[in-house]
Amino acid sequence: MPGGHCQVRSPKPRHSIYSLTDSSDVGPEEEEVDDVMPRLTPLEKLTTDMCKDETTIKELIIGRRVGFYKVRGEIGCGTFSRVKLAFHALTKDKVALKILDKTRLDSQAQRLLSKEIHSMELLQHPNVVQLYEVVETPSRLYLVMEYAGGGDLHNRICSEGKLSDSASKITFAQVLSAIKYMHNMNVIHRDLKAENVLFTCSGCLKVADFGFSTQVSNRSDALDTFCGSPPYAAPELFKDESYLGPPVDVWAMGVLLFFMVTGTMPFRADTMGKLRRSIIEGAFTVPPWVPGPCQRLIKGILKPVPTERYALDQMLGCDWLLPVEFPWLMLPSEPESPVGSLLDSEGLDEEEEEEVRSSLEELGFTTEHLRNNQLKDSRSPITWCSSNPAAPSPEEEGL
């Protein structure tokens, strides 16, 4: 969760929500009635407001609220989508809300969107932006995603210059961890670039934007669609032939690494034709001041012949990354939601289990809620709360 974990603070009004008078003015009979009527949980109050409260209903109609999420300002836009900042009405945690106009999506865009959602539903990794929920209306589709408030790698380098050697190692190691995990899950990103590498406010890196991603049955499956940004595209993509997915992501990682350590791109040209020739020939020069081990890694990745490129395991063991530890690789192939383990006998230890269960119960989510909602997809707001059971209060977030 962006910004770290904080303790949930459930609202504690001085009086029952059913009473607008001071307790000293309430008669014995009224006090007895007030004690009998239970106070609504935050979940019950929210669902009631969405059906009966005029202000909440108006916000839903005009798009200021989407399901359980309150929508705020725009933070990005694409060809078919806009991305806005939002926050969960119960946990108050920030999310990125990708809004797509279904009426503008042709058949190809719909297929890509379906692949994007499927890929993100499969992936749960510390260095991959997580999809929390999908909300659909007759005209729009909303992807509720993890919010990374630290900006993207491209803007950081353009504004501050190339990364230091140590910062490059830490950044590239996290990208490598994310891509290795994706490939282990047979997901090919196909649009890896600095603009799609995001930072959280705490400095953790997140690979984002799975709009061109695809899942293969195995990593030797051939693909035939040109995807991604031309400066990051592998030579085989320009040859109008079928290609293997993993080497394409590996090539983009080489371009990304070059950009991190030099602040420039390895392949530059005035026209697309010249850029294409430059990439196919693999013509680039690494500045001599780049450390030797890093130079060897870049040259081992940016080889025009896909089969000659470094494999991900070779990168993990290269001299340049030897000082870097990889805690992000110590994950099971299919990570489980923390609250998913509440429904079986294994998973969290007793203290963690009690903390998660208590946090959810304060919000109004019971074991019955969890049993009636699948936690392994993104079609329910409970999925989000299950992944983020503890969040700051509105006062702490300044919302």
3-state secondary structure 59-121: HHHHCCEECCEEEEEEEEECCCEEEEEEEECCCCCEEEEEEEEHHHCCHHHHHHHHHHHHHHH
Reported confidence tier of residue 389, pLDDT bands at 50, 70, 90 = very low
- Percentage of the chain with pLDDT > 90? 41
pLDDT, one tens digit per residue, over 2-59 is 444 443 333 333 333 223 334 444 455 555 555 555 787 767 676 776 677 777 777 7
DSSP 282: T
pLDDT of 343 strictly over 90: no
Least confident of 111-125, 255-269, 299-313, 330-344: 330-344
Reported confidence tier of residue 317, pLDDT bands at 50, 70, 90 = confident
Report the catalytic residues.
191
Sign of the CA dihedral with 81 first, then 86, 90, and 93 last:
positive
Least confident of 131-145, 183-197, 280-294: 131-145
Sign of the CA dihedral with 260 first, then 266, 269, and 273 last:
negative
**Which one has a higher pLDDT value, 155 or 78?**
155
User: Which pairing describes strands 140-146 and 94-101: parallel, antiparallel, or unpaired?
Assistant: antiparallel
pLDDT of 393 strictly over 70: no
pLDDT, one tens digit per residue, over 216-260 is 988 778 898 888 899 999 999 998 789 999 999 999 999 999 999
- Topology agreement, domain 1-13+36-147+350-399 and domain 168-329: no
DSSP 332: -
Which pLDDT does position 73 carry in this prediction?
A: 85
CA distances from 41 to 45, 139, 340, 355 (A): 6, 32, 22, 18
* Helix (DSSP H) and strand (DSSP E) numbers for the chain: 14, 12
Taking the domains of the chain in order of start, what are their residue ranges? 1-13+36-147+350-399, 168-329
Which pLDDT does position 42 carry in this prediction?
A: 64
Which pLDDT does position 10 carry in this prediction?
A: 37
pLDDT, one tens digit per residue, over 263-294 is 999 999 889 999 999 999 998 999 999 999 99
Q: What CATH architecture is 168-329? A: Orthogonal Bundle (1.10)
Reported confidence tier of residue 360, pLDDT bands at 50, 70, 90 = low
Which pLDDT does position 65 carry in this prediction?
A: 80
- φ, ψ of residue 328 in degrees (nearest 5): -70, -10
Q: Which two tokens stand for residue 54?
A: 């005029």
Q: What is the pTM of this model?
A: 0.73
Least confident of 300-314, 328-342, 347-361: 328-342
Going by CATH, does the domain composed of 1-13+36-147+350-399 fall within 2.70.98.60?
Answer: no
Which pLDDT does position 135 carry in this prediction?
A: 87
Burial zone of 55 (CB within 10 Å; 0-12 exposed, 13-18 middle, 19+ buried): exposed
